Amino acid sequence: MYEKMIEQAEKEYPQMVEWRRHFHQYPELSFHEEETPKKIASFLRDLGVEDVKEAFGGRGVVAKIYGEQPGKTIALRADFDALPIQDTKDVEYKSKIPGVSHACGHDAHTSILLHTAKILHQNREHLEGTIVLIHQFAEEQT
Catalytically active residues, by annotation:
81, 139
| pLDDT tens, the chain, 142 aa long | 779 989 999 999 999 999 999 999 999 999 999 999 999 999 999 999 989 999 888 789 999 999 999 999 999 999 999 999 999 999 999 999 999 999 999 999 999 999 999 999 999 999 999 999 999 999 988 7
Q: What pLDDT is stored for residue 63 in this prediction?
A: 98
Cα–Cα distance for residue pair 129/96, rounded to 1 Å: 40
The answer to whether the beta carbons of residues 44 and 63 sit under 8 Å apart is yes
Ranges of H-type helices in the chain = 2-25, 35-47, 106-122
Domains and CATH numbers, the chain: 2-89+99-141 (3.40.630.10)
Cα–Cα distance for residue pair 52/42, rounded to 1 Å: 9
- Give the containing element (helix H, strand E) for 77: strand 69-79
Please give the model's pTM, rounded to 2 decimal places: 0.93
CA angle 141, 40, 50 (to 5 degrees): 125
